[in-house]
Amino acid sequence: MILQQADILRALARPGGASSDFDLNPGVAGSGPAKKDAGVLVPLIERPSGVHVVLTKRAAHLSSHPGQISFPGGKRDVGDVDISATALREAHEEIGLDPSLVQILGQLPAHETVTGFNVIPTIGWINTPWVVKADSGEVAEVFEVPLAHVVTAQNFQVQSRIWRGQRRSYYCVPYGPYYIWGATARILCGLADQMGPL
């Protein structure tokens, strides 16, 4: 199925539920009750083969989540007028995406992480191809995945591993050599729920 911008807008108009790293792990201890706001951009771009989502592979030397697949994003700064501004600023810093090339389509419900962040995903439609300029200090690779793959419910799995001495379950949605898991996969799973059966 070839997805279009109108399909995304219809999905965003449907109600969605907030998610958290604790959905599958009610007994796992987090890093405390204080939540820091963070914004991520879910960048969508139309290619001849259909709509793709742009993702990053975090640099291996980072102290948090090294080598993991993620959306461009980060903590909200005091100068950010809203959480979408955070997402756009971070995408510009991490992958060289000029905010003027992005049309904001809407937001997904917040996702609470076990590391103490309240992550709010902003869906952005990239109107014009851009030259990727990955920040080597944060990003090892920028790549694209067909949106249809990551909004098809059957492509998601629940797996588990030991984390801080406890077994932790998480969503994943593998694609080729890329192992998309954790908060990124859970956010995509939420989008899949709002999209409905394809």
Mean pLDDT by 10 residues, the chain (198 residues): 89 92 80 79 94 91 72 95 98 97 97 90 93 91 96 95 83 96 95 89
Contact in structure between 187 and 111 (CB atoms under 8 Å): yes
Q: What is the pLDDT of residue 13?
A: 95
Burial pattern 120-142, b for ≥16 Cβ within 10 A else e, equals: bbbbbbbeeebeeebbeebbeeb
Residue 64's CB is within 10 A of a number of other CB atoms, namely: 7
Residue 63 is predicted with a pLDDT of 56
Among 77, 75, 81, 136, which residue's Cα sits nearest to residue 104? 81
pLDDT at residue 136, as a whole number = 86
SS3 state at 94:
helix
Supply the pLDDT for residue 56: 97
How many Cβ atoms sit within 10 Å of the Cβ of residue 9?
13
SS3 41: strand
Q: List the beta bridge partners of residue 20.
A: 112
| pLDDT for the residue 62 | 65
Backbone torsion region of residue 164, taken as left when φ is above 0, otherwise alpha when ψ lies between -120 and 50, otherwise beta: left
